[in-house]
Structure 1
């Protein structure tokens, strides 16, 4: 999930009143959908102002969530500066915010995206229409999750592996599969040392993930990959923009350019497009792209 650069969206640049109103509209809407009787409250107790259309009062929200008196009222009215994480999480769960609303809550309060999803199970899925996207790409393309488990791929992707033996896990294939050490040109210097730091970064980001822990142990136990993993070279946390030698099963030696992106639905997924150029020399690099700003 992409973070907002707070320096580019500071208090001097944004109408603070508009942000508070945007926050209030969301919270009032969701509060009005909750029935006091579902939480053991009578119609008239405790006292407090209900949202338009009924629902819980602001003090009732404090009671349900165990907040100090007036905490929720300050949040809803934009007066709870630097709202504690447990307050936002409690409100998000009580109001059953969807992933878009959860991001909205954080952007309207902290001016950045949340540090984690409100509903972790939603992070394991992306829209099925992504398969149509992959099939529309003329180059090898695939999607993996944060463990590098293969989620979806196109027909061109199958052709970059010997015998079209598609791996279940792309990272495991790159570092541990014997085929990879032939297909990935100059594996010991051009691939493995640049790929190994990705695993370090993933282990740091997901320290309790059992699969990643097991993958790391298998890498360390490998006589070739283990020493590279322990003493990695340049630090890379993603391969976006990399161009490395590749021995294509159908087209022979050449160069594979790697281009990554992340679906907005879930930060745990990554898409990869791989463009193969045959020949001894890598393709000429192109200048960086920037937005063209119109007007003054």
Structure 2
């Protein structure tokens, strides 16, 4: 059985290859192409590797590309820093245990509860593990079953969350999908991540479309505007921090700001 992470590695290569035009890499257009983007042999040529070897990589066969090969592929495919880092992560060997839901240490829990602005803790799968009173007022995590307390699941399948973002929902949701993709691929095949992926696919046609594009983005701070049923329009600046105790834990803080800016 193919390694799910290797499959994602190959799928990511294919998705980047199909997005890249010959002109973008200095190649002549050539004869009429049956598919979009570069041909496999063109990528292999640009990366300085054998065509058969590249085909094996893209097909997700059990092969272990060296750091030099991964770097060469990143240059050939004109990958961004985030995309290059993602390809490196997928190429790494090494056993990985099954995912288990994280536990928030008491000191971090007390810190979150003491913050005046909306704040919550998420784990590797983006499950919401802890939150403060201010976050409860805005997001109402406590009203949800534990299995539904997941930031991507809420964004993609929860009607209340979608309404709160209004016309800006698609932009925020699409970026979140690309951010989650970078996490998911490293855990590809894990039952907990597979279960979440199934729920997202069943609950959101937009997710299915965006997921198929295999875009990846890093975590970014920014601004969000939401409409609350009783508080009205809310403008926040959000940012996140990793915990030294457990890098899998992420503290997300929403600071109120004036206007949409």
Relative to the length of structure 1, the TM-score reads 0.48
The secondary structure found in structure 1 opposite 2:257 is strand
- Asked which structure has the greater RCO (Cα within 8 Å, sep 6+), the reply is 2
Aligned Cα RMSD in Å? 3.1
1:191 deviates by 1.1
Q: 2: distance between equivalents of 1:118 and 1:230?
A: 25
The gaps in structure 1 that reach 5 residues or longer are 1-114, 283-296
- Count of residue pairs the alignment pairs up: 165
2:162 to 181, 193, 199: 181
Aligned to 2:107: 129
The gaps in structure 2 that reach 5 residues or longer are 1-92
**Higher mean displacement: 140-149 or 251-260:** 251-260
Q: 1: distance between equivalents of 2:189 and 2:141?
A: 35
**Higher mean displacement: 144-153 or 214-223:** 214-223
Alignment check: 8 A CA contact 1:143 1:153 kept = yes
**Cα gap change, 1:269/1:162 in structure 2, threshold over 3 Å: closer, same or farther?**
closer
Higher-Rg member (1/2): 1
Q: How does 1:1-296 map to 2 (within 5 A)?
A: 124-161=102-139, 165-166=143-144, 167-221=148-202, 222-231=204-213, 235-238=216-219, 240-277=220-257, 279=259, 281-282=260-261
Q: 1: distance between equivalents of 2:141 and 2:248?
A: 30
Q: Deviations over 1:228-282 (max 9, x none)?
A: 333377x4232x3121221133331232221101111112111111123354x32
Instruction: Return the structure number with greater helix share.
Output: 2
Alignment check: 8 A CA contact 1:144 1:151 kept = yes
Q: 2: distance between equivalents of 1:217 and 1:270?
A: 24
1:161 deviates by 2.8
Alignment check: 8 A CA contact 1:260 1:270 kept = yes
Q: 2: distance between equivalents of 1:148 and 1:163?
A: 13
1:178 deviates by 1.1
